[in-house]
Chains A and B, each alone.
Chain A
Amino acid sequence: MNQPTTLFDKIWDAHVVKAMNDGPDAVFIDRHFIHEVTSPQAFDGLRKRGIGVFNIARTTATADHNVPTKDQHLPIKEALSRHQVETLRKNCTDFGIELYDLGHPYQGIVHIIGPELGLTLPGMTIVCGDSHTSTHGALGNIAFGIGTSEVEQVLATQCILQYKPKRMRININGQLGKGVTSKDIILYVIAQISASGATGYFVEYAGDTIRGLSMEARMTICNMSIEMGARGGLIAPDETTFEYIRGRRFAPQGEAFDQAVERWRKLKTDDGAEFDVELNYRAEDIGPMITYGTNPGMGIAVDSHVPNLSEIPQSELASYTKSLAYMGLEPGMELIGKPVDYVFIGSCTNARIEDLRTVAEFVKGKTKAEGVEVWIVPGSVQVSNQAKAEGLDQVFIDAGFELREPGCSACLGMNEDKVPAGKYCISTSNRNFEGRQGQGARTFLASPIMAAAAAVTGKVTDVRELV
């Protein structure tokens, strides 16, 4: 009998083209996603070397990071952004790569459209020049973010040179409480192990709580693996996964689908397989989470308080004080009741149809608080169309929310969607770094329903009091 093996090892080992003695593995990449920001220099590299793309069918492009979320049918106003999107267009045309450009029915945030189109499947290796590529792992594959030199490697050779990360398993068991979502699970885990706690590891999420989550909720968890430093995160595929994939545009269809499911059923960690680290958490210990600082590890249950100085290790005091000063917060204070100026519901973390449904269900019949600006930015054209088909757009309009067009938007503020300096934004995105949502902007990360609650009350609110 073979040695018990982790799912991660099974997928990785099946893709090693060549292992180098005391060096990295050359790993075959099944699916490569590209976007306008991290690809132009890679195409330049190909031109300088005089080589083409190894297999154009394995790369898919979209424009997402730098696109406006209003009037996408018009030319992009900002010259540099327009140039970058035009450069992507030219590169895709020159090299023969499929592009879901602005106006295309499949356009959207790269990590939302991959699963949505059935391009992301179990057992694959997937890369993209974006750290949130870990999102795709929710379908049971190895997916991770890469730099532009590596984008060039993959375009040129369909391989990447990588050292195999160590293995970590995070088990979540038990029943989630009222108002607690998958976003809270991952913010809780990151708060427990810190923003660097999984650096060097590839994480498998397991346990009955994870099993009970929808496919989209699982994506939120895998999405934020990078926020604790992990190379990526995956969840073994199951019936939820197969049902999600069934009938999607580029997924195997009919008999081919049934055969694929038979193969995918084998994608799991063997009993007794060893992990370098194994962590266990109880769903009952997790409350609605919110971050107070400037990295995603600085999170607390919403009814808790910002740590006192006495709770912070001496070596971290300087960074901690700097962070709170940026946020305009005091050690020991409570966040409930803190006024917010902006609410951003969007990003590859939380801009799928289930997220929009959750928000709509909560706000139906309510209106936003005065003085609060609320942006809802769907993750893709398909999400946007679905929301409209279900009448969610009217719910948002009635509540005074602004429904925008798809893109990365205020998650990283590359386009016009920026939070002004000093203003507080409760955001469903993944990073609360200094300046992330705009120079001087102050970010509270939270779940969609927590963001919706703050939109209605105008302040940080414990959503459990409203549901």
Chain B
Amino acid sequence: MSKETMHKLVSTAAPLPIENIDTDQIIPARFLKATTREGFGDNLFRDWRYTADNTPKADFVLNNPIYAGAKILVAGKNFGMGSSREHAAWAIHDYGFKVVISSFFADIFRNNSLNNFVLPAQVSDEFLAEIFKAIEADSQTQITIDLVNQEIVLENGLKESFAINAYKKQCLMNGYDDIDYLLSLSSEVKKFDLAHANF
């Protein structure tokens, strides 16, 4: 639905070197009661970001002003495991991240991000370690995400390519979504609907 597009992004990055970050951490269940897609960014990583009395936790990366404005989130492997809640992708997008880099993504989260114009860029464990190292050395280091050439480039010249399927790449670059395509198949689908009437 969104006509957002993505080609190339150059930005600082927020580091979150924790493995197996599940969608309950990204957006806790008690914030899933909204009936719109907006406003979830305020509660992104809520319980890591704030204490029970809503005081920001100083040691959490999103509360550190040196990472303010980062459009890239860099996280440990197996990011987005658990619940299928798309609210996780909405929260990441609403907060302002356009790209999540990790060395492994959970399947449903990967689909949900792509459907919300957040690019899940999967890199090797080694390159992920290099990215964390680069951010640690200089919090303002610029990371280039080149979707067209499917490449991530660091300021120190290190780079690695990432995989994305051709269809989803086109969707991101052109702002397409899946429903437009599926609606175009409706006469074929009607035949399936009749053929699958009995089990």
Task: List residues of chain B with CB within 8 A of the CB of A145.
Answer: 84, 108
* Given known A131-B84, A147-B89, A434-B25, contact A256–B189 (CB-CB < 8 A): no
* Given known A38-B86, A147-B84, A148-B86, contact A252–B198 (CB-CB < 8 A): yes
- Contact indicator per residue, chain A 432-448, by CB within 8 Å of chain B (1) or not (0): 01111001100000000
Within 8 A of B (CB), among A42-59: 44-45, 48-49, 51, 54-55, 58
> A315–B125 Cα gap in the complex (Å)?
10
Complex contact A421–B52 (CB within 8 A):
yes
Q: Is B97 an interface residue (CB 8 A)?
A: no
- Contact indicator per residue, chain B 119-134, by CB within 8 Å of chain A (1) or not (0): 0000001000000000
Q: Which of A54, A199, A439 contacts B47 (CB 8 A)?
A: A439
- Contact indicator per residue, chain B 92-123, by CB within 8 Å of chain A (1) or not (0): 00000000000010111001100110000000
Residue among A22, A41, A44, A440 with most chain B CB within 10 A: A41
> A152–B115 Cα gap in the complex (Å)?
11
> A232–B22 Cα gap in the complex (Å)?
18
Task: List residues of chain B with CB within 8 A of the CB of A150.
Answer: 111, 115, 178
Complex contact A229–B25 (CB within 8 A):
no
- Contact indicator per residue, chain B 11-25, by CB within 8 Å of chain A (1) or not (0): 000000111101011
Q: Is A93 an interface residue (CB 8 A)?
A: no
Q: Which of B25, B52, B81, B189 contacts A157 (CB 8 A)?
A: B189
The distance from the CB of B195 to the nearest CB of chain A, in whole angstroms, is 9
Complex contact B20–A196 (CB within 8 A):
yes
Q: Which of B1, B37, B199 contacts A121 (CB 8 A)?
A: B199
Q: Which residue of B lies closest to A412 (CB)?
A: B29
Task: List residues of chain A with CB within 8 A of the CB of B30.
Answer: 413-414
The distance from the CB of B83 to the nearest CB of chain A, in whole angstroms, is 5
Within 8 A of B (CB), among A204-246: 226, 229, 231
> A413–B29 Cα gap in the complex (Å)?
7
The distance from the CB of A414 to the nearest CB of chain B, in whole angstroms, is 5
Q: Is A367 an interface residue (CB 8 A)?
A: no
The distance from the CB of B52 to the nearest CB of chain A, in whole angstroms, is 6
Q: Is B78 an interface residue (CB 8 A)?
A: yes
Complex contact A439–B52 (CB within 8 A):
yes
Task: List residues of chain A with CB within 8 A of the CB of B104.
Answer: 196, 199
Within 8 A of B (CB), among A149-167: 149-150, 152-153, 156-161, 163, 165
Q: Is B155 an interface residue (CB 8 A)?
A: no
Query: Number of A residues whose C-beta is below 8 Å from B?
Result: 81
Q: Is B188 an interface residue (CB 8 A)?
A: yes
Interchain Cβ contacts within 8 Å, total number: 199
Q: Is B165 an interface residue (CB 8 A)?
A: yes
Task: List residues of chain A with CB within 8 A of the CB of B137.
Answer: none
Q: Which residue of B lies closest to A48 (CB)?
A: B1
Residue among B25, B32, B36 with most chain A CB within 10 A: B32
Q: Is B82 an interface residue (CB 8 A)?
A: yes
Complex contact A41–B18 (CB within 8 A):
no
Task: List residues of chain A with CB within 8 A of the CB of B35.
Answer: 40-41, 44, 83-84, 87
Complex contact B20–A295 (CB within 8 A):
yes
Task: List residues of chain B with CB within 8 A of the CB of A147.
Answer: 84-86, 89, 108, 111-112, 115
Task: List residues of chain B with CB within 8 A of the CB of A81.
Answer: 33
Complex contact B182–A161 (CB within 8 A):
yes
* Given known A156-B182, A161-B181, contact A199–B107 (CB-CB < 8 A): yes
> A439–B53 Cα gap in the complex (Å)?
11
* Given known A22-B167, A158-B189, A414-B32, contact A196–B78 (CB-CB < 8 A): yes
Q: Which 10 A-B pairs have the closest CB atoms?
A: A23-B167, A147-B86, A40-B35, A80-B33, A147-B112, A145-B84, A149-B115, A157-B182, A131-B84, A148-B86
- Which B residues have a C-beta under 8 Å from some C-beta of A? 1, 17-20, 22, 24-25, 28-30, 32-37, 47, 52, 76-78, 81-87, 89, 104, 106-108, 111-112, 115-116, 125, 165-167, 177-179, 181-183, 185-186, 188-189, 192-193, 196, 198-199
Name 11 extra pairs, CB < 8 A, besides A38-B85, A131-B83, A229-B81: A18-B188, A37-B32, A41-B37, A44-B37, A124-B199, A147-B108, A148-B86, A149-B177, A161-B178, A412-B29, A433-B25
